[in-house]
Every structure is written in structure tokens, then in C-alpha cells.
Amino acid sequence: MPRILIVEDNPINMKLAARLLEYAGHEVLQAEEATAGLCLARERQPDLVLMDIMLPGMDGVAALGELRADPATAHLKVAALTSYAMKGDRERLLEAGFDGYFAKPIRHKEFLAGVAGLLAGNPEAEQGRDR
């Protein structure tokens, strides 16, 4: 069963993403801020991390940097989960080193398809490309 870590401070977004992923048969780990997320990533080695960008304290881009800098987590797949839907954000986030990009609000079918693609190792998997 694929294990997915969601780092998201918005309880509504967290609940929706967690329910969708659990319904799809994934094990879901949850963290409301980056520091807790980094600990879970190290200890539980998720198959995919979904990282919100706007977080209290350390933001998602900085958290990605921490994951990449730590040999215990450098290899993990990490996708941005962000309400930024402005043109250019996708490119900016992929350049920052994210393996994928999901725009909020989450669109159920595209979200699950994108997650499945990332788990299968498809670097093009993403949602929100045309937003």
C-alpha cells in the first residue's frame, strides 16, 4: 500500500486530500506544519510527499530544501500542493525541485490520476497545468 505524507495547514484541504487518498487505498500520514512533516518523512519514508507551499513557519519550498539536503530524505518524491494558480508558478516550483504540482482547489479525478502517475514514476504527472 503506497504511503503518502500530506503537509498542509488548512484543515479542509487536509481532510479532502486525506479522504481521497485513503479512498484510493493509500496509507496517509498528516502534518500541519513543515517541521513535523520533515520528522514523519525521515521516520516513515513515504512513497510521496504532498507539500503545501504556504505554511506557518517554514514554507514548503524551504521544507523541500531540507528534505533534499538530508540523505535520509533526499530521494523522496515531493509534489507541491498549492493554492497559487498564477501563471509561472508551476515552472517556478518545478525549478525549485518539486517532482510534481497540484493546484488547489483539488479536482478529485485529476488529483488521483496525478498521484498515481507520480507513484508510477511519471515526472509529467501533475494537475493544474492549464489553470
Minimum distance from CB of 47 to Mn ion (Å)? 22
Residue 10 · residue 54 · CB < 8 Å: no
Minimum distance from CB of 9 to Mn ion (Å)? 4
9 is a site residue for Mn ion (CB under 5 A): yes
Cell output for 36:
513535523
19 SS3 class: helix
Q: Which residues inside 37-96 make contact with Mn ion, applying CB under 5 A?
A: 52, 54
The piece of 1-9, 20-28, 64-72, 87-95 that touches Mn ion (CB under 5 A) is 1-9
Q: Which residue is nearest to Mn ion (CB)?
A: 54
Please name the residues in contact with 27: beta carbons below 8 A apart, sequence gap of 6 or more. 1, 2, 3, 4
As to burial, measured by CB atoms within 10 angstroms (0-12 exposed, 13-18 middle, 19+ buried), residue 44 is: exposed
Residue placing its CB nearer to Mn ion in the complex, 9 or 47: 9
Cell output for 55:
505554511
Minimum distance from CB of 60 to Mn ion (Å)? 8
Residue placing its CB nearer to Mn ion in the complex, 58 or 124: 58
Name the site residues for Mn ion (rule: CB under 5 A): 9, 52, 54
